[in-house]
A and B are shown apart, each in its own frame.
Chain A
Amino acid sequence: MATQQTRSLARFMIAPSVVLLFVWMIVPLAFTLWFSFQQYNPLNPIRDGFVGFSNYALFYSNPAFLQSILNTLILVASVLLITVIGGILLALLIDQPMWGQGIVRILVISPFFVMPPVAALVWKNMIMHPQYGVFADIARFFGGQPIDWFGQYPMPAIIIIVAWQWLPFATLILLTSLQSLDAEQKEAAEMDGAGFISRFIYLTLPHMSRAITVVILIQTIFLLSVYAEILVTTNGGPGYASTNLPFLVYQKALLEFKIGQASAGGILAVILANIVAFFAMRAVGKNLDK
């Protein structure tokens, strides 16, 4: 029974959030769109002006662009693969009856709370450093040659770091979902003689499918914009070997001051994110109807 009065009150209460978000997202985005059709260089303003689609052409014909798109996709796909499969296995393991389950949970979830620059620097210097890192110590112990991770395998190194940060998230969400599985159903399946594998395939996995979808979608949103991990480890190098799309846009905008090109890249990042967002919204939206 919403009266006219309560309805206008409701509008008045929602307005600040909506206006703030609208101004914050739409105004800068409009600027970016405008800049993407402009020649604009704060250091050399003589040739500024409208240039049509040439920024897009320039940005997209840049070999670094193709590499950065490829790196973005490799990073997202690899981390998703590692965290979803690892997360399912870990959730299944932690869900078993054991001593000290609470502490195990705390240990496993911890990396998620480590701020990205700390995670990246700790891995870079103390774990993966070719001379003083723990990996190098292990390699030498077995008589092997330490690996120069960030020089030779920059992308795998970054993938390992980012996967380490996101594995706890996947595990926690999947574990939550797993624990909401009805114990009676599990027992019934067991009584009927279903083994662990068939129980997993026909009961557990379908039950978790929704949580898995959510994990994939939400991680993708965050993984598409990985930044600090690259900044403090490889700085995008060697060359463009570990530059992803956000990092390339940052370089163009704030280091090279090629604003037009950076904006064109930014618009592309928006399109990419929107494709993912489209599916994410549908998955989350379903939950609203219940």
Chain B
Amino acid sequence: MARAVSTQHKTIATAAAWIVALLIFFPILYTIITSFKSEQEAIQGFNLFPSGTTESYIAVEAQRGYFKFFLNSVFLSVGSTILALLVAIPAAWSMAFSPGKWTKDILMWMLSTKMMPAVAVLFPIYLIFRDTGLLDSRIGLMVMLMLINLPIVVWMLYTYFREIPGEILEAARMDGASLWNEIVYVLTPMAVPGIASTMLLNIILAWNEAFWTIRLTTTEAAPLTAFISSFSSPQGLFWAKLSAASTLAIAPILIMGWFSQKQLVRGLTFGAVK
């Protein structure tokens, strides 16, 4: 029997939840609002109604060359994710479908590498990058981001693949499907949603990675994280420009994030909470 919810209860809950949610969202909202103000307006005290000018957006591109950093972010996050998937899919696949004695230990060990603090390897990595000419190179950083997220990718894929029932594979084999047919017609269609979710979460994580992307780049390979950090030493007043750059930096990933709430829970808890 469904519980009858009093309208009063529902009204109070709605009001309370909306107030809290808007407070939490406020810094983002205010950034978007400020991005449509002129620099003059931006420092004239609290004001939720901007004049609607887009001069800050124009200035961010004209003076700071925003688009190059944006492209680097896209290249690095998508590239590192595809690279990670290429390496991780076979591994997760074989661990899920023909687990061996060491499968669990390998998974745990992979997870443990994710827990290694980045600073512990900062200088050796820096030296290796410097001596091989990879500092400030897109390829070097892409490989770096791939390695950072590889454990999460393997884990996520593993938890998805494990849910594909093995009986279906056996049935296909009984019907005389070759290994190739089995992979293309039976496994792949079932694995696609899991792979897509993994990809989505990983792009978000790579996009927002803010240690190696800042330390291993200067100008050429710098993505938006490094671009935004360059605003920390202000020359003059720049609130509106900072807001415009910030809005542009977070908008794509914010929208992707809204669609990946479920995957986020699963991916970041390594399947422990679903």
**Which A residues contact B (CB, under 8 angstroms)?**
2, 6-7, 9-11, 13-14, 16-18, 20-21, 24-25, 27-29, 31-32, 35, 90, 93-94, 96-101, 103-119, 121-127, 132, 134, 137-138, 164, 167-169, 172-173, 176-177, 180, 187, 190, 210-211, 214, 218, 221, 224-225, 227-228, 231-233, 245-246, 249-250, 253-254, 259, 262-263, 265-267, 269-270, 272-274, 276-277, 280-281, 283-285, 287-288
**A276's closest neighbor in chain B, by CB?**
B115
A215 to B87, CA, bound (A): 28
A263 to B120, CA, bound (A): 7
A93-B13 CB under 8 A given contacts A169-B268, A218-B268, A269-B117:
yes
CB <8 Å contact, B269 and A117 = no
Selected A-B contacts with CB under 8 Å, 24 pairs: A10-B95, A10-B100, A17-B154, A35-B124, A93-B20, A98-B14, A108-B24, A110-B25, A111-B25, A114-B208, A116-B208, A117-B210, A117-B225, A121-B242, A122-B27, A126-B30, A126-B242, A127-B27, A187-B3, A218-B269, A253-B126, A273-B120, A277-B115, A287-B270
Chain A interface, DSSP helix/strand/loop, else mixed: helix
By a CB distance below 8 angstroms, the chain B residues around A101 are 17
Cβ-defined partner of A172 (8 Å) among B34, B128, B261 = B261
CB <8 Å contact, B17 and A17 = no
By a CB distance below 8 angstroms, the chain B residues around A249 are 119-120, 122
By a CB distance below 8 angstroms, the chain B residues around A259 are 123
12 A-B pairs besides A13-B90, A20-B147, A132-B43 with CB distance below 8 A are A16-B90, A25-B116, A31-B124, A111-B25, A114-B28, A116-B208, A118-B228, A122-B28, A122-B242, A225-B117, A259-B123, A269-B120
Chain B interface, DSSP helix/strand/loop, else mixed: helix
By a CB distance below 8 angstroms, the chain B residues around A90 are 20
A136 to B254, CA, bound (A): 28
> Which one of A25, A231, A245 has the highest number of Cβ atoms from chain B below 10 Å of its Cβ?
A25
B250 part of interface (Cβ distance < 8 Å): yes
> For the side of the interface on B, what is the size category?
35 or more
Closest Cβ of chain B: how far from A110's Cβ, in Å? 6
By a CB distance below 8 angstroms, the chain B residues around A119 are 27
By a CB distance below 8 angstroms, the chain A residues around B274 are 176, 180
Closest A-B pairs by Cβ, 6 of them = A31-B124, A113-B257, A13-B90, A28-B121, A266-B120, A228-B210
**A129's closest neighbor in chain B, by CB?**
B239
A43 to B122, CA, bound (A): 18
CB <8 Å contact, A109 and B27 = no
B189 part of interface (Cβ distance < 8 Å): no
> Which one of B127, B128, B211 has the highest number of Cβ atoms from chain A below 10 Å of its Cβ?
B211
By a CB distance below 8 angstroms, the chain A residues around B215 are 250, 254
Closest Cβ of chain B: how far from A248's Cβ, in Å? 9
A32 to B121, CA, bound (A): 6
By a CB distance below 8 angstroms, the chain A residues around B265 are 172-173, 176
CB <8 Å contact, B17 and A98 = yes
Convert B260-274 into 0s and 1s, putting 1 for each residue whose CB lies closer than 8 angstroms to a CB of A: 011011001111111
Which of B56-64, B104-112, B180-188, B190-198 lies on the face that meets chain A? B104-112
CB <8 Å contact, A32 and B123 = yes
Closest Cβ of chain A: how far from B214's Cβ, in Å? 6
B174 part of interface (Cβ distance < 8 Å): no
Cβ-defined partner of B273 (8 Å) among A31, A214, A288 = A214
**A244's closest neighbor in chain B, by CB?**
B119
A273-B115 CB under 8 A given contacts A90-B20, A288-B104:
yes
CB <8 Å contact, A111 and B232 = no
A115-B30 CB under 8 A given contacts A17-B88, A172-B265:
no
CB <8 Å contact, A228 and B225 = yes
A276 to B111, CA, bound (A): 13
A210 to B269, CA, bound (A): 11
CB <8 Å contact, A284 and B123 = no
> Which one of A20, A108, A109, A125 has the highest number of Cβ atoms from chain B below 10 Å of its Cβ?
A125
CB <8 Å contact, A168 and B24 = yes
A14-B95 CB under 8 A given contacts A93-B16, A126-B243:
yes
A118 to B264, CA, bound (A): 20
B168 part of interface (Cβ distance < 8 Å): no
B67 part of interface (Cβ distance < 8 Å): no
By a CB distance below 8 angstroms, the chain B residues around A272 are 117
By a CB distance below 8 angstroms, the chain A residues around B270 are 284, 287
Closest Cβ of chain A: how far from B162's Cβ, in Å? 10
Convert B31-48 into 0s and 1s, putting 1 for each residue whose CB lies closer than 8 angstroms to a CB of A: 100100000001101100
